[in-house]
Chains A and B, each alone.
Chain A
Amino acid sequence: MRRRLGTRTALGLIPPILLIIGMLLPAVNGPHLWLGLPSLMWWLAGFAVSVTVALALIEKLHPESGDSE
């Protein structure tokens, strides 16, 4: 149970870490274009996708909560 909670926390922390890394990297948060669009825009789009991926994985690991469906 504790291990599962640890995995959930770790997965939940991945997107914010990606965000901070991107904002600190001059190659991302700088006057650059990747495939014609701002590099920061690409990075933040990837960040948004990473939130969905992280939550989908967490949902898979989620223990039964006993909710009525």
Chain B
Amino acid sequence: MNTVLIFVVLGIITIAVFGFLGRRRTSTDLGEWAVGGRRLGTAATWLLQAGETFTTFTFVGLVALSFATGASALYALVYTPLSYLGLYFIAPKLWRRAAGRGYLTQADFFTDHYRSKTFGWLVAVLGVVFLLPYLQLQITGLGQIVQFATGQNTSVRWSMLIAFALVVAFVLWAGLRGVAAASYFKDAIMLITLLILLIALPSHFGGLTGIFQHVQLHLPSALSVHAGSHDPLWFFSSVATSVIGIVFLTAPHNWPAVLSARSSKTLRRNYTILPLYSLCLMLPVALGFVALTVLKPGSNGNAALFTLAAKALPSWVVGLIAVGGIAAAMVPAAGILVGICPLVARNILRVRSERGQYWANQLTVLVLVALALLLALVRPDSLANLLLLTFAGLSQLAPAIGAALIGERGLLGKASALTGVIVGVAAVILLTFTNVVNIGHLGAGLAALAVNLVVTVAVEAVSRLVVVPEPEGA
């Protein structure tokens, strides 16, 4: 076993140990498991809310995007602060509503606000279906990181299996508190490794200033968002899709981080500081520029980080970097499980007893990880594209969530909100899997959202003019 592999094994075990240590007390209460009993303080909620900043996409995909497109990769430094700006206003409203009405999931919110179990069921199904590729992305990403770091294909499958068996174990044991505890380790190791890389790699290849001067001389267009496949339209539509998805909490796995907060003031305080944390995203983008000057055009972008590290750094540092990457896969995967498994138990299967819900939830953790592992082994795909596909589908819930938070009763009735979601999701599927309409570099999520909004407004207008008001409890 080589040095890198030893680090990989120790890293996987350490992350799981942190996850196990998160559990406070023995409980079969789904509220404690899914939202930490709504008692998490500033540090824990901070790490959960910041969790989306550092994932495998950040660690591998963003370096690859920067290597491929240059400055267009800075869209990540735009959508994260903008999202926190929006969340500062939206999340406290949602927290107050959820705390008052006892929501544990996104679908609970839909079921209660729109007084429709069918709408809640549909939202829960969409959440699970659209986040399964995102869970798969974490597994595929972990496998790629192990492969790039060790240079061995044989280690990939067993490392994916061991890592995700341990994820299942600590998620079952500690729930959201386990995710929060593992996040302490994840964010620390990722920051350390990114800083090591940012200091060591440029100094090995001629200094950061020298690298950017080289880019200015030979590839000046890489320093700006320019014409081409990643033009300003791509830049702003990617930002818009991501911001809409995050601000309106369209992804069910983002809800526990909000619902678990001790108070809405905790949320507001965190969202004020988090934009500064997103400055760390400049590190992987800068590393992409290093790759741009050192690697041959057409090299595997996803492997760029580890190709550079192997050229310049000792194997134990490469091992440490691999641990950072593995943490960026395991911990977000655990967060996704905590976000979507209660959807199955509470909103899809609709188990009535609290104890029954808890055990149905635990069983769902096992089934979903098994399914995602199978997908990862059979149909691995591009990291960045999978992420954008997930956001495109889920962003169709934004109008229904946003409208529900305006005033006590919200702006939309059940008919218009439900029709908008169905039409929006159908449009995403059509635009993603067929060539019926050419939308250029505009994302499928944004184009479908426009269709969604038009249909929602039209149905709402018609229902207000023609249809009698919906009866209570329909």
Which residues of A come within 8 Å of B, CB atoms?
A: 12, 15-16, 19, 23, 29-33, 36-41, 44-45, 47-49, 51-52, 54-56, 58-59, 62, 65, 67-69
Contact = CB atoms under 8 A, between A and B. Distances in A.
Contacts of B282: 41, 45
Contacts of A48: 77, 80-81, 275-276, 278-279
Given A33-B223, A52-B276, A68-B263, A40 B213 contact: no
Contacts of B80: 48
A65 B267 CA distance: 13
A59 B213 contact: no
Contacts of B78: 19, 44, 47
Interface residues of B, number: 41
A29 B224 CA distance: 5
Contacts of A38: 71, 212, 223-224
30 contacts: A12-B89, A15-B82, A15-B85, A19-B82, A23-B225, A23-B235, A30-B223, A33-B209, A33-B213, A36-B209, A37-B212, A38-B71, A38-B224, A40-B71, A41-B285, A45-B282, A48-B77, A52-B81, A52-B275, A52-B276, A54-B85, A55-B84, A55-B272, A59-B268, A59-B269, A67-B92, A67-B96, A67-B263, A67-B264, A67-B265
Contacts of A65: 92, 264-265
Contacts, number: 107
Interface of B: 71, 74, 77-78, 80-82, 84-85, 88-89, 92, 96, 208-209, 212-213, 216, 220-221, 223-225, 232, 235, 262-265, 268-269, 271-273, 275-276, 278-279, 282, 285-286
A16 B224 contact: no
Closest 6 CB pairs of A and B: A36-B209, A31-B220, A51-B275, A51-B81, A55-B272, A48-B81
Contacts of B276: 48-49, 52
Of the listed residues B74, B81, B221, the one surrounded by the most CB atoms of chain A closer than 10 A to its CB is B81
B432 to A, nearest CB: 27
A12 B285 contact: no
Contacts of A47: 77-78, 81
A52 B195 CA distance: 23
A55 B271 contact: yes
B232 A15 contact: no
Nearest to A20: B236
Given A48-B81, A51-B84, A58-B88, A69 B212 contact: no
B308 to A, nearest CB: 19
Of the listed residues B82, B213, B224, the one surrounded by the most CB atoms of chain A closer than 10 A to its CB is B224
Contacts of B85: 12, 15-16, 51, 54-55
A34 B117 CA distance: 56
A7 to B, nearest CB: 14
Contacts of A19: 78, 82
Given A16-B82, A31-B223, A65-B264, 6 more contacts: A30-B224, A33-B216, A40-B223, A52-B273, A56-B272, A69-B262
B83 to A, nearest CB: 10
A56 B85 CA distance: 11
Contacts of A67: 92, 96, 263-265
B453 to A, nearest CB: 20
Contacts of B81: 15, 47-48, 51-52
Contacts of A12: 85, 89
Nearest to B92: A65
A35 to B, nearest CB: 8
Nearest to B75: A44
B268 A31 contact: no
Nearest to B93: A65
A40 B235 CA distance: 13
A36 B275 contact: no
Nearest to B226: A29
B223 A59 contact: no
Contact of A37 (B77, B208, B275): B208
B212 A33 contact: yes
A51 B84 CA distance: 8
A2 B298 CA distance: 56
Contacts of B223: 30-33, 38-40
